[in-house]
């Protein structure tokens, strides 16, 4: 991602630094924006807001955003749910982007809303959609940590069942998403 950012910002006055936010030193610089895309839950709680506040200029903003699936109740969705019930009923993240991440995302949103360091958390949402063929959808599922932690035999049965469901519905898995952008202004 850092290399892609470097390429995309080649003509701009942008420096891409690759270091965990917790370890990064701003070197007496301040910024108008601290932005995190999908990653804020993994920045250490207790430090993330304080550090974001400290590196922001007086009029700076904290921007947190996520893409989250907006799954419709369809016959394909019900067929996939049936596969999960049969093969891995305890698996919480049956859809990419849904899991304990939902609770983590909620905590990240509530944190600046209740902090004296920030004010006026505003939400902007953008809906978008895409479609995955069977292989691409299974590739997406294979990035989910709880799917990866399944034993190999159970994961293979789960993926085979999901593949059968997607193929039975024409070989395409349409997915709607919502991109949520939360912006909070620095106080003080």
- List the single range of 24-33, 106-115, 165-174 with lowest mean pLDDT: 106-115
State the pLDDT confidence band at 174, using cuts at 50, 70 and 90. Answer: very high
Q: In angstroms, how far is CA 84 from the centroid of its own chain?
A: 22
Per-residue model confidence (pLDDT) at position 80? 93
State the pLDDT confidence band at 120, using cuts at 50, 70 and 90. Answer: confident
Rounded to an integer, the average pLDDT of 84-113 is 72
Looking at domain 2-186, which CATH architecture does it have? 3-Layer(aba) Sandwich (3.40)
Winning range, highest mean pLDDT, from 14-18, 34-38, 87-91, 160-164: 160-164
In the chain, where the domains are located:
2-186
Q: Give the whole-angstrom CA distance, residue 25 versus residue 174.
A: 43
């Amino acid at each position: 991602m850092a290399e892609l950012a470097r390429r995309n910002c080649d003509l701009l006055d942008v420096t891409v630094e690759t270091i965990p936010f917790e370890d990064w030193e701003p070197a007496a610089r301040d910024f108008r924006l601290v932005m995190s895309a999908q990653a804020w839950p993994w920045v250490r709680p207790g430090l993330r807001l304080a550090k974001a506040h400290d590196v922001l200029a007086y009029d700076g903003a904290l921007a947190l955003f996520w893409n989250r699936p907006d799954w419709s109740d369809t016959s394909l969705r019900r067929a996939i749910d049936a596969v999960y019930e049969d093969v891995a009923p305890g698996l919480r993240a049956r859809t990419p982007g849904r899991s304990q991440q939902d609770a983590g995302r909620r905590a990240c949103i509530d944190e600046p809303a209740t902090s004296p360091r920030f004010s006026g958390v505003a939400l902007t949402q953008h809906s978008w959609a895409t479609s995955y063929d069977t292989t691409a959808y299974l590739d997406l599922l294979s990035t989910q940590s709880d799917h990866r932690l399944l034993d190999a035999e159970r994961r293979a049965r789960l993926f085979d069942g999901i593949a059968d469901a997607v193929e039975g519905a024409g070989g395409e898995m349409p997915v709607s998403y919502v991109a949520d952008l939360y912006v909070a202004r620095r106080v003080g």
